[in-house]
């Protein structure tokens, strides 16, 4: 009987120690989880801070004020879908008064597309005053291709306006929209070309048009035409043209606001999944 009692006591002690060990193990596990959670939160804060710094740097590279010219007015709009966007716009004003405007859409999103935007900005600023757009595109294509960014490249449109003469070329960007004030019609201008950097030897083309007072030009990336509503339906290019035609008599800044509002109303609160950018130029 004594042996049984002692054995029973020992058994009881062993049984009692099981939940005690489980509690200690749980406390240790909880401590490890809490420490790892803090590490992840700190890592997320660091990455968020880095992305915000990159976003601020990218925005600082974009023009902050529009050029003032006697024969035209210009405005632009950009809303990124991520902290670091892949859309880009810029301008350069030559000594002879020629205005060069560029608009681009880098492949992908985030930091990788930000690298392409930074490279494009540098190349544009050094080559913008080159008389021919084809020469500029060709030189930029060689440079970006030489960066070995694999599949990263830049869809782009570039226009040069000298007095009332328009020269333009595009490289994988949506059609440019030209509103003719005398006929109240929209011309869709598409100069087919591969995105900058996707080929080092693509034969880009340049086209020329005469402009008149009241004519309005809209350059845009695919963010607005391809914006989705809650039913996953695209805003579409025909609707974009209609909206631009309705607003084309307004000032460029008002046209930008109308295009933006049209996209917001279509989306009905659905977050955008691509950058939205457009540049509007109106001849006086």
pLDDT score for 53? 63
Alpha carbon distance 55, 114 (integer Å): 9
Tokens of 199: 């080929």
Domain 67-283: top CATH class: alpha beta
Residues 233-264 have pLDDT tens digits of 999 999 999 999 999 999 999 999 999 999 99
* 3-state SS class at 252: helix
* 3-state SS class at 239: helix
Domain map (residue ranges) of the chain: 1-61, 67-283
Q: Are 132 and 191 in contact (CB under 8 A)?
A: no
Q: Strand locations in 19-98, DSSP E?
A: 72-79, 87-93
Intervals of the chain under pLDDT 70: 1-21, 44, 47-59, 82-85, 108-111
Alpha carbon distance 26, 248 (integer Å): 68
- The order of strands in the sheet holding 185-189 is 72-79, 276-283, 216-220, 176-180, 185-189
Alpha carbon distance 199, 194 (integer Å): 7
Q: Are 220 and 157 in contact (CB under 8 A)?
A: no
pLDDT score for 37? 78
Q: What angle do CA 243, 99, 213 make, to 5 degrees?
A: 50
Phi/psi for 148 (5° steps) reads 55, 50
Q: Are 89 and 103 in contact (CB under 8 A)?
A: yes
């Amino acid at each position: 009987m004594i042996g049984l009692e002692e054995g029973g006591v020992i058994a009881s002690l062993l049984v009692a120690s099981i939940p005690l060990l489980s509690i200690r193990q749980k406390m240790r596990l909880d401590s490890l989880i809490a420490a790892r959670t803090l590490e992840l939160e700190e890592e997320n804060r660091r990455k968020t801070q880095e992305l915000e710094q990159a976003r601020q740097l990218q925005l600082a590279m974009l023009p902050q004020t529009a050029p003032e010219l006697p024969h035209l007015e210009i405005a632009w709009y950009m809303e990124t879908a991520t902290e670091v966007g892949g859309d880009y716009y810029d301008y350069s004003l030559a000594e002879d008064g020629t205005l060069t405007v560029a608009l681009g859409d880098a492949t992908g999103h985030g930091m990788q597309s930000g690298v392409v935007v930074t490279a494009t900005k540098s190349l544009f600023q050094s080559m913008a005053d080159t008389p021919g757009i084809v020469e500029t595109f060709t030189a930029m294509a060689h440079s970006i291709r030489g960066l070995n960014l694999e599949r990263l490249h830049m869809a782009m449109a570039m226009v040069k306006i000298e007095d009332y003469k328009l020269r333009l070329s595009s490289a994988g960007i949506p059609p440019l929209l030209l509103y003719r004030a005398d006929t109240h019609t929209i011309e869709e201008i598409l100069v087919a070309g591969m995105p900058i950097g996707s080929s080092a030897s693509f034969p880009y083309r340049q086209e020329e048009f005469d402009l008149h007072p009241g004519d309005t030009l809209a350059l845009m990336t695919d963010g607005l035409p391809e914006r989705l509503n809650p039913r996953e339906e695209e805003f579409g290019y025909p609707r974009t043209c209609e909206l631009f035609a309705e607003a084309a008599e307004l000032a460029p800044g008002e046209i930008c606001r109308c295009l933006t509002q049209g996209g917001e109303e279509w989306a009905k609160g659905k977050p955008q999944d691509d950058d939205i950018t457009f540049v509007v130029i109106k001849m006086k």
